[in-house]
Chain A
Amino acid sequence: MKEMSVRVYRFDPKEDQKPHFQTYLVQVNEGARVLNVLHAIHDEHDPTLSYRYCCGSGQCGSCAVRVNGEPVLACMEEAREGMTIEPLDLPVQKDLMVDMEPYLSEISALVPKDDFTMPTPAVVEDIKPFRSCIECLACVSACPALKVISFAGPTAMREDLRLALDPRDSEDRVTEAVKSGLFTCTSCQACWKVCPKNIQIPGKAIEKLRSLANKKGLTLPRHQEVAQLVRDTGRSVTRLGPTFLEQIDEVLEPYGPVRATVGFFVGCMYNQRLPQAAFDAMEVLRRNGIRVIIPKDQVCCGSPLLRTGQWDILDTLKRKNIDAFVSRNIDTVLTMCAGCGSTLKNDYKTPYRVIDINELLTKYVIEPPARLPLKATYHDPCHLLRGQGIRDQPRELITQVVDLVEMPAICCGSGGGVRSGIPEEAAALAERRREEIEKTGADIVVSSCPFCEFHIMEHTDRPVKNITTLLLDGYREKDRKKAEKPA
């Protein structure tokens, strides 16, 4: 047995004005799960604690709660000292019990056709991963879109795709999905990352449904415009002035000895809309011994088309981008756009290695910048944090220059084609970011994704900086101080 202190959310609408947290000291066995802690509280401390559970083995989806903010199955998650246990982010009935019914009833049911067709093994293999869903609603709790707009939710989309693939179903699930919010998903991947069954809802269900919608001509007009732009110009956004690629040399030699050589994939946003951030990044690389090769024939990575289900010209884009680097014998391609990085890593089969700039800079241990007297908060780009699993590296870089105040990692609303397709949703999500930024009291916001930076800039009065710009600020301060010092 071991002793453990935990904080638990308590709320009985019959008795309490508002929720509160109660701390309990419980005795549990070695290897105890969160559910065993709840049992211990219920059995030994307070029998009135309400929580749901049934199978105790991760199969029924009754017991999902949030532990330290993250949705988990109480029966499978190992209990940790000092943890905070809260209900899912859904309407609370009592203590840890939430109202699951409204969401469960949104999930579509198969309506059998009159004539029966047995699914083929290939169809069964396609459908099976989606059937392992236990409807625990962890994904619904984590979905940012659901908090600002009407949307059936991730797991309902999952089942819609399953039904769309199932030859026994008689309804038009693609149109149904579009009506129930298919295009509201920002592809932030939060649902997938909290799914106890690891169901890749955005990539495997939502994007697939969007591609089926595309075949039915249901792609949003704004998304169609983006696709046309890519077809016409090779870029997914229009230019504001001279682009990065037009202004930069094809090879950038570092100031000191060469420590590494990489190819640079700039991406549409940094090329056309925020070229200064890319120039700043080049400067930081040169100061740190990185030789950069920049093929001018690179094009859009295809992410905006992938996310919106417009897959017809993807192969052409992929081939161009692979050839551009392979023809220059580049074995490592650097990205600084989180979306491009995630796409090259997850949606391409590249013959070269892809590395994000945060990974590169922390790997090569950078020249220390000067500290600036600023308090910063960091916005985790979805395609960096969840798309590439990069969490610590940006923080390691930022804290070399400024103090960092954390805020919760939630989507800003710019991804998945939502900014162009459903601007009011994107604005509502950014507004929530603004509120979180305010709470931190930070002087500046730092991020590492052009979509996030561009979008958040429009919704906060604080300066929004790319991480490499912040590093460059630190270097410039260092140079200034050095120059000031009398020789």
Chain B
Amino acid sequence: MDCHVLVIGSGGAGVRAAIEASGYGETILVSKTIAGKGGCTTMAEGGYNAVLREQDSCEAHFDDTMKGGAYLNDPALVRLLVDEAPERMEDLLRWGAVFDVTDCCEVAQRPFGGQRFPRTCYAGDRTGHEMMLTLMDRLAATGTEVLQEVTIVHLFKDENTVAGALGIDRHGELLAIRSDRTVLATGGGTRIYDISTNSSSGTGDGYALGFRAGADLVDMEQVQFHPTGAVYPYDARGRLVTEAVRGEGGILKNALNERFMVKYDPERMELSTRDVVSRSIATEILEGRGTPHGGVYLDVTHLPRAQIESKLPVMLEQFLKFGVDIREEPMEVAPTAHHIMGGLRINSDGETTVPCLHACGEVAGGVHGANRLGGNALADTQVFGKRAGEAAGKAKKRVKRIHWEEIAAQEKRLSAFYDGRVLPTTVARSLQTAMWDGAGIFRTAKELAKTLDVINHLSSLPLKAAGYSNLEECCIVQNMLITASLVVKGALLRKESRGAHVRRDVTQAWDAQGSPYGHTWQSLKVSGIETEVKA
């Protein structure tokens, strides 16, 4: 197959990129799931940050984002995010998104953590789902060809450029796609942790594909642990409990009924930034003040029932399914791996360091620094999805070749899985446990090194496909292993605590703004950490 722009990924960023790119040339969107259902956008609950009111300002949004990100963010990217988020919100509204509105017919906004103005737009607690429905409607009106349930396993290289991708469909058949420009919009990868909010597609595919194609990745150690994930029943552990619960007025208490945030951030309390709240909850639990199920209480019982029913309907429904009526009793929550702030290094057009390869959404790095503010990810998908799609679309057509040796090598890679010995799910489970234990909220060089040993060992095992439907699973587990190793290596490179990344074995004399360090970076050939001399 041949196209001008190939978009890999069908979440908010990928679909937004395809909508934009399709205006310039033939566009193919490849989705590992049924498009619109996979990814994390559709699960995003709380909201979308955009400056819409006169009392608010883009400067304030910029400052909040930089401060929340422990000043590791790329200022130029943050500038674009805050400036263009309102325009991209207008696109969504024009295309039919049904956001909550005020009595004056303005998009309603709620307070979210780390922001001085309530600027988080929302559709109840199913904001991302509303956006996905809208984007899928719009996508259908473009000429984009959607390949459903095709997993990309390799990016083709022609000289130093990316020239397309190789996919595998649900029949186990290979599919080679040649493209002028390729956009990675594969989302995040916190499925590498035992406890995670991510959907089944959050396996870090784009980090691995980009890395193997030679791209630079920055700040991969920066993994956000969302403060509030479900803790029971066991199989529901990690399920996201939206920040909107706290935005609507939910309070956190430990087993001693103490509103413990007063100890950690008396000013912002429950609406502190996610890194702070997660560490506070983790500390309460580690020091023995946790609930019987190993969490803390998140309580909304003091709120009017109607507010819970209309603003948090998904939360209400999910907890009811597990026997908890949040109108009557508190939820039990604990931190859960949620978002990877790091990712492929991009410029304002979403161009990576490999020619003809773009990235947008969670797979890209630099926008959120060391800690993402709640509500900035959905905005990120739209702002940078559009930018990447537009730049890729506007790029010139070119002569590009797929080299048969590459296909042959991939065929060999895949057929080897039929002779493997270890099931991919077995490897994935070992990896998830090791990452949670050794590269979680609190880290030390010793634990990280041990985790890296586990990853290396797991990577050496011959993965087994029992049938054609398991081939993609093997490739995906390899992606998880690469992503995990990038996270751990990044964490070893950054010898400081910054944002979501906490090194317990390092004592430092600086705060985030005074840090001598910039991004960590990793590529196939080199890796390191930027050191800046502060003026």
B459 to chain A, nearest CB (A): 20
Is A31 in contact with B102, judged by CB distance below 8 angstroms? no
B476 to chain A, nearest CB (A): 13
Interface core residue of B42, B123, B234, B235 (most chain A CB under 10 Å): B235
Q: Mark B315-350, 1 if CB is under 8 A from A, else 0.
A: 001100110000000000000000000000000000
B463 to chain A, nearest CB (A): 11
Complex-state Cα separation, A369 to B100, whole angstroms: 59
Q: Which residue of chain B has the shortest Cβ distance to A136 in the bound complex?
A: B37
Stretch at the interface among B71-79, B126-134, B150-158, B372-380: B126-134
Residues of A within 8 A of B524 (CB): none
> Which residues of chain A in 43-97 are interfacial with respect to chain B, using CB atoms and an 8 Å cutoff?
43, 46-48, 50, 52-62, 76, 93-94, 97
Is A111 in contact with B141, judged by CB distance below 8 angstroms? yes
> Which residues of chain B in 166-203 are interfacial with respect to chain A, using CB atoms and an 8 Å cutoff?
170-171, 199-201
A443 to chain B, nearest CB (A): 43
Is A59 in contact with B126, judged by CB distance below 8 angstroms? yes
Determine whether A33 belongs to the interface, using a CB cutoff of 8 Å to chain B.
Answer: yes
Known: A48-B469, A112-B95, A116-B93. A29 touches B321 (CB 8 A): no
B504 to chain A, nearest CB (A): 31
B378 to chain A, nearest CB (A): 14
Q: Mark B10-24, 1 if CB is under 8 A from A, else 0.
A: 000000000000000
Determine whether A104 belongs to the interface, using a CB cutoff of 8 Å to chain B.
Answer: yes
Residues of B within 8 A of A47 (CB): 423, 425, 465-467, 469-470, 473
Complex-state Cα separation, A60 to B101, whole angstroms: 24
Complex-state Cα separation, A79 to B466, whole angstroms: 26
Stretch at the interface among A117-125, A315-323, A355-363: A117-125
Is A112 in contact with B94, judged by CB distance below 8 angstroms? yes
Determine whether B28 belongs to the interface, using a CB cutoff of 8 Å to chain A.
Answer: no
Complex-state Cα separation, A211 to B157, whole angstroms: 59
Is B233 in contact with A57, judged by CB distance below 8 angstroms? no
> Which residues of chain B in 1-60 are interfacial with respect to chain A, using CB atoms and an 8 Å cutoff?
33-34, 36-39, 42-43
Interface band, chain A: 35 or more
Is A121 in contact with B199, judged by CB distance below 8 angstroms? no
Determine whether B121 belongs to the interface, using a CB cutoff of 8 Å to chain A.
Answer: no
Is A31 in contact with B96, judged by CB distance below 8 angstroms? no
Q: Which residue of chain A has the shortest Cβ distance to B317 in the bound complex?
A: A58
Determine whether B287 belongs to the interface, using a CB cutoff of 8 Å to chain A.
Answer: no
Determine whether B395 belongs to the interface, using a CB cutoff of 8 Å to chain A.
Answer: no
Q: Mark A126-142, 1 if CB is under 8 A from B, else 0.
A: 01100110110000000
Q: Mark B58-94, 1 if CB is under 8 A from A, else 0.
A: 0000000000000000000000000000000000011
Interface residues of chain B: helix, strand, loop or mixed (majority):
loop
Is A55 in contact with B236, judged by CB distance below 8 angstroms? no
Is B232 in contact with A57, judged by CB distance below 8 angstroms? no
Is A131 in contact with B37, judged by CB distance below 8 angstroms? no
> Which among A31, A55, A111 is the interface contact of B43 at CB below 8 angstroms?
A55
> Which among B98, B129, B171, B469 is the interface contact of A119 at CB below 8 angstroms?
B98
Residues of B within 8 A of A120 (CB): 101, 105
Is A104 in contact with B34, judged by CB distance below 8 angstroms? yes
Q: Which residue of chain A has the shortest Cβ distance to B96 in the bound complex?
A: A110
Determine whether B124 belongs to the interface, using a CB cutoff of 8 Å to chain A.
Answer: yes
Is B101 in contact with A118, judged by CB distance below 8 angstroms? yes
B392 to chain A, nearest CB (A): 24
Residues of B within 8 A of A280 (CB): none
Determine whether B301 belongs to the interface, using a CB cutoff of 8 Å to chain A.
Answer: no
Is B98 in contact with A43, judged by CB distance below 8 angstroms? no
Determine whether A166 belongs to the interface, using a CB cutoff of 8 Å to chain B.
Answer: yes
Interface size on B, residues (CB 8 A): 60
Is B126 in contact with A132, judged by CB distance below 8 angstroms? yes
Complex-state Cα separation, A55 to B201, whole angstroms: 8
Known: A116-B93, A118-B105, A121-B101. A60 touches B233 (CB 8 A): no
Is B103 in contact with A31, judged by CB distance below 8 angstroms? no
Complex-state Cα separation, A127 to B37, whole angstroms: 21
Q: Which residue of chain B has the shortest Cβ distance to A43 in the bound complex?
A: B425
Complex-state Cα separation, A60 to B129, whole angstroms: 8
Determine whether B240 belongs to the interface, using a CB cutoff of 8 Å to chain A.
Answer: yes
> Which among B140, B239, B465 is the interface contact of A109 at CB below 8 angstroms?
B140
Residues of A within 8 A of B470 (CB): 47-48
Complex-state Cα separation, A110 to B137, whole angstroms: 7
Is B233 in contact with A134, judged by CB distance below 8 angstroms? no
Determine whether A349 belongs to the interface, using a CB cutoff of 8 Å to chain B.
Answer: no
Complex-state Cα separation, A127 to B133, whole angstroms: 14
Complex-state Cα separation, A118 to B103, whole angstroms: 12
B171 to chain A, nearest CB (A): 7
Is B199 in contact with A54, judged by CB distance below 8 angstroms? yes
Determine whether B516 belongs to the interface, using a CB cutoff of 8 Å to chain A.
Answer: no
Known: A118-B93, A120-B105, A168-B96. A94 touches B322 (CB 8 A): no
Q: Which residue of chain A has the shortest Cβ distance to B90 in the bound complex?
A: A116
Complex-state Cα separation, A39 to B261, whole angstroms: 38
Complex-state Cα separation, A281 to B472, whole angstroms: 64
Residues of B within 8 A of A60 (CB): 33, 37-38, 42-43, 199
Q: Which residue of chain A has the shortest Cβ distance to B33 in the bound complex?
A: A54
Complex-state Cα separation, A197 to B473, whole angstroms: 31
Determine whether A36 belongs to the interface, using a CB cutoff of 8 Å to chain B.
Answer: yes
Residues of A within 8 A of B38 (CB): 54, 60, 62
> Which among B33, B94, B466 is the interface contact of A62 at CB below 8 angstroms?
B33
Known: A124-B101, A169-B96. A59 touches B314 (CB 8 A): yes
Is B98 in contact with A128, judged by CB distance below 8 angstroms? yes
> Which among A29, A55, A124 is the interface contact of B233 at CB below 8 angstroms?
A29
> Which residues of chain B in 391-439 are interfacial with respect to chain A, using CB atoms and an 8 Å cutoff?
423, 425-426
Determine whether A172 belongs to the interface, using a CB cutoff of 8 Å to chain B.
Answer: no
Determine whether B527 belongs to the interface, using a CB cutoff of 8 Å to chain A.
Answer: no
Q: Mark B101-137, 1 if CB is under 8 A from A, else 0.
A: 1110110000000000000000110100110011011
Interface core residue of B38, B93, B133 (most chain A CB under 10 Å): B133
> Which among B148, B426, B465 is the interface contact of A101 at CB below 8 angstroms?
B148
Determine whether A407 belongs to the interface, using a CB cutoff of 8 Å to chain B.
Answer: no
Complex-state Cα separation, A119 to B133, whole angstroms: 17
> Which residues of chain B in 449-472 are interfacial with respect to chain A, using CB atoms and an 8 Å cutoff?
465-467, 469-470
Determine whether B313 belongs to the interface, using a CB cutoff of 8 Å to chain A.
Answer: yes
Residues of B within 8 A of A168 (CB): 94, 96
> Which among A28, A42, A59, A166 is the interface contact of B425 at CB below 8 angstroms?
A42
Not counting A47-B425, A116-B93, a sample of 10 additional A-B residue pairs whose C-beta atoms are within 8 angstroms of each other reads A30-B234, A42-B425, A54-B199, A60-B37, A97-B170, A110-B96, A111-B141, A124-B98, A124-B99, A132-B126
Q: List 9 A-B contacts (CB under 8 A).
A: A32-B233, A43-B426, A47-B473, A48-B470, A57-B239, A57-B240, A60-B38, A105-B140, A134-B129
Which 6 A-B residue pairings sit nearest by Cβ, starting from the closest? A31-B233, A110-B96, A109-B137, A48-B467, A47-B466, A29-B234
- Point out residues on A near B: beta carbons under 8 Å: 14, 28-33, 36, 42-43, 46-48, 50, 52-62, 76, 93-94, 97, 100-101, 104-105, 109-112, 116, 118-121, 124, 127-128, 131-132, 134-135, 166, 168-169, 197
